Amino acid sequence: MGVRTEFLSTARWLAVVIPLVDLALVLTGLLSPRTGIVVALVLEALLAAVLLVEAAAFRGAYRAVRRDGGGRRAALLAGVEAVWPPVVLRMVRAEAGVLRALWWAVRRRPAVGPGDVPLPYAGRFRLVLGALTVLGALETVVVHVLLPWQTARWVLLAVSLYALVWVLGSGLSLFQHPHLLRDDELVLRFGHLRTVVVPLAGLVGVRRSVEAEHGKVLLRDGDRLVSSVMGDTDVELRFDPPVRVAEQEEPVARVAFWVDDPQAVVRLLRDRAVPAGR
């Protein structure tokens, strides 16, 4: 299964990259048009074979989810995950999340369900997001007006507008996707990019603990899982016995994260903590 997966992953990328290289070689004169056509025909056959194999993989994943009672949307997502390269899938999800954040901002819609208790963490981004948006808009206008070359001016305008939309959408998603406290779990999020569900079974301790300079948004530090904002955390949970968290090979005994109001969150979670030994 591992060899087959590696082969499919390699074939997907070759089917995309090689035609582009073939076209570039023909346009630059390093490859004759006749040779380029022959290579293109061979690549078409390769692409057809890849598509047939991936269609079968998509169908198998789709049917498996539907057979287990999943909805059509979940089945389609499973099918796409089975055939798309992970890097491309992450890129598509990131772009879709940015567009959704802009649409939700218009509708003033947060990603908070009925019964969920939101725990905001993005307060420190408010000033940064406003400054980046204003400065980005000013820079876009200034560059477009002052740049003397028309083609470069329009290309830079398109790139600047895309970057501005991406920054604004990503920033808004941080406010739309707060951490969530539910009856039996704590959902730690970083915008639309990352979600970690921590079961609250076994929670025996909650305390304020301010730490800085964490190297990543999400990292494993011994028996502790860290979900930081700008490298900082201010609340730590302790579990006995350790709990299993998705995508973590070993159970975690401690979880550290950042929230805007740590005192209020500590009070909420202490009500759910079970004293050790009970």
pLDDT band at 6 (very low <50, low <70, confident <90, very high): low
Q: Which residue has the higher pLDDT, 123 or 50?
A: 123
Reported as a single tens digit per residue, the pLDDT across 165-188 is: 888 888 899 999 999 998 889 999
On whether residue 144 sits in a domain, the answer given is: no
Torsion 176-181-187-190 (CA) sign: positive
Helix (H, G, I), strand (E, B) or coil at 165: helix
Give yes or no for residue 81 having a pLDDT over 70. Answer: no
Q: Which residue has the higher pLDDT, 64 or 6?
A: 64
Domain that residue 6 falls in: 2-84
Q: Give the residue from 127, 122, 126, 121 showing the smallest Cα distance to 264.
A: 121
Mention every residue, 6+ apart, whose C-beta is less than 8 A from residue 93: 192
Estimate to the nearest angstrom the gap between the alpha carbon of 226 and the chain centroid.
17
Give yes or no for residue 1 having a pLDDT over 50. Answer: no
User: Could you give the residue ranges of the DSSP H alpha helices within the chain?
Assistant: 2-27, 33-67, 72-83, 86-107, 125-146, 150-176, 262-270
Q: Give the residue from 165, 163, 162, 181 showing the smallest Cα distance to 173.
A: 165
On whether residue 26 sits in a domain, the answer given is: yes
CA gap 187, 147 in Å, rounded: 47
Query: What percent of the chain stands above pLDDT 70?
Result: 78
Q: Give the residue from 229, 245, 244 showing the smallest Cα distance to 175.
A: 229
On whether residue 8 sits in a domain, the answer given is: yes
Reported as a single tens digit per residue, the pLDDT across 9-35 is: 555 566 566 667 767 776 777 767 777
**Cβ 185 vs Cβ 200: under 8 Å:** yes
Reported as a single tens digit per residue, the pLDDT across 97-138 is: 888 888 988 888 899 989 899 999 999 888 888 888 888 888
- Global pTM reads 0.69
- The domain boundary, picked from 60, 84, 108, lies at 84
On whether residue 67 sits in a domain, the answer given is: yes
CA gap 264, 169 in Å, rounded: 28
On whether residue 75 sits in a domain, the answer given is: yes
On whether residue 106 sits in a domain, the answer given is: no
Mention every residue, 6+ apart, whose C-beta is less than 8 A from residue 47: 15
On whether residue 242 sits in a domain, the answer given is: yes
Structural domain count of the chain: 2
pLDDT band at 61 (very low <50, low <70, confident <90, very high): confident
